[in-house]
Every structure is written in structure tokens, then in C-alpha cells.
Amino acid sequence: MFEYQGEELLRGFPRLKRSVLNWSLWLLARDGLIGKIKARVNSKLSTLYGCHDAISSLKEKLTAEKDDLMPSAEPA
């Protein structure tokens, strides 16, 4: 998983411009070659890119956390 405007991927390609990397991620996601999701990272909404399996796993984890935070709807 890589964050849009993130530093971790740029460290791997030090000569690559940030804008080129961001457009590349966007195009790969647009063409369905990688996945894209918006999620909270360190309390801020971020766009994340990654393989489809990683995106699916993150969605499941976020759904499970959300369900844990929601009060039970059982009648009293």
C-alpha cells in the first residue's frame, strides 16, 4: 500500500519526480491494474494505492473496526 503524496515510494525512486509518480499511480488505478481507497491515516483522510488483495483486506479491516465501534442494535 502506498499513500498518495507519500514519501516511502519516492525513496525507492529518488530521481523520479513526485508528480510523475502520482500520475502513474492514478493511471494504474484508473485502468484497474491496482486498487485505490480513501481511508484515515494518522487522523487525516488519505488516498491509498495498492494491489487489489491489499485493498480488499483493508476494506474488511476498516469495516470490522467500524462495526466494533458501533453500538449494538439489540433490543433491551
Q: What is the 3-state secondary structure (H, E, C) of the chain?
A: CEECCCCHHHHHCCCCCHHHHHHHHHHHHHCCCCEEEEEEECCEEEEEEECHHHHHHHHHHHHHHHHHHCCCCCCC
Would you give per-residue pLDDT tens digits along the chain (76 residues)? 888 887 888 888 889 898 998 899 999 999 999 999 998 888 889 899 999 999 999 888 888 877 666 665 555 4
Q: What is the pLDDT of residue 72?
A: 58
Q: What is the pLDDT of residue 74?
A: 55
Q: What is the pLDDT of residue 12?
A: 86
Amino acid at 22: N
Pairwise CA distance, residues 74 & 21, whole Å? 48
User: Per-domain residue ranges for the chain?
Assistant: 2-69
CATH of domain 2-69: 1.10.10
